[in-house]
Each structure stands twice: as C-alpha cells, then as structure tokens.
C-alpha cells in the first residue's frame, strides 16, 4: 500500500432492547437524529455520531462501552439524575476522579455503559 489512509469518520453500533425507548432516551440525553429508518438511526451532534440499531444481544449489550467528553460534566450529571425519573432502568455512579480524568458512569436502557468525561 502506498500513502497514508485517512479515515474521516468512524461510527459504532449501539444495541437496543426496546428500540423506541432507547430512541427516546438518547434524544432526551441531548443527541439529535440525523437519519433513521425502522431498524437503524444515526444519533449525534455534528460529526460525533453513532448508530442505534434495532438489535439486542444481552451479553454484547452488557459488555458494550462508549466514552463521551463534555464541557460541563456536572450539568450532564444533573440532567441524567433527572432522566432517571423517566427511565427507571438506567443507572449511574456519582462523579469521581479516575486516573484518566473526571468522570461518571451511565448505564443506558439496554445495559450499555457510557464513560461520561469532563473535556479539557
């Protein structure tokens, strides 16, 4: 191979046990839908996007992890605490200082784990 291959975008696929519930959750979490059909949609903000798929495998979902960086981690944490009233199945840990930075963990509707991080 000659030259360098440059990737312009990489997306992951997030499972959904209840697709409509997960769709609503991610909208309420602040992500926007840029495209959708009955089995797949693209969520995100700007070029930071991911797929939400109408597919669920318990082992995979409960071992799936994402990391997101936000400018105001405390504001996101407070928003998640409010979302817990509507989405009883989600879980979270309080904000803590890890070796890799200020973070909190959020487990979404299908068991997927988000590492929510404070950006610099």
Q: Which tens digits make up the pLDDT trace of 49-98?
A: 999 999 999 999 999 999 999 999 999 999 999 999 999 999 999 999 99
Give me the pLDDT at residue 29, please. Answer: 97
Tell me 120's DSSP state.
-
Helix (H) or strand (E) holding 116: strand 113-118
Q: DSSP states of 68-112 as a string?
A: EEES-HHHHHHHHHHHHHH-TT-EE---EEETTEEEEEEE-TTS-
pLDDT band at 106 (very low <50, low <70, confident <90, very high): very high
> Domains of the chain: which residue ranges?
13-118
Residue 2 has pLDDT above 90, yes or no: no
pLDDT band at 47 (very low <50, low <70, confident <90, very high): confident
Q: How far apart are CA 62 and CA 57, in angstroms?
A: 8
Residue 39 has pLDDT above 90, yes or no: yes
The CATH T-level fold of domain 13-118 is: 2,3-Dihydroxybiphenyl 1,2-Dioxygenase; domain 1 (3.10.180)
Supply the mean pLDDT for the chain. 96
Determine contact, residues 116/78, Cβ cutoff 8 Å: no
Distance, CA of 101 to chain centre:
18
Helix (H) or strand (E) holding 118: strand 113-118
Q: DSSP states of 1-65 as a string?
A: --S---------EE--SSHHHHHHHHHHTT-EEEEE-SSEEEEEETTEEEEEES---HHHHTT-E
């Amino acid at each position: 191979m000659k030259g360098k291959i440059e990737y312009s975008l990489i997306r992951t696929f997030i499972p959904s046990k209840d697709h409509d519930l997960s769709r609503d959750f991610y909208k309420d979490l602040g992500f926007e839908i840029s495209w959708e059909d009955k089995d797949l949609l693209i969520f995100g903000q700007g070029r930071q996007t991911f797929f939400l798929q109408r597919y669920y495998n318990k082992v995979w979902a409960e071992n799936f992890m994402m990391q997101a960086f936000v400018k105001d981690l405390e504001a996101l944490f407070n928003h998640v605490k409010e979302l817990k009233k509507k989405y009883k199945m989600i879980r979270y840990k309080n904000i803590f200082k890890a070796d890799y930075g200020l973070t909190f963990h959020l487990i979404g509707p299908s068991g997927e784990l988000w590492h929510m991080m404070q950006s610099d």
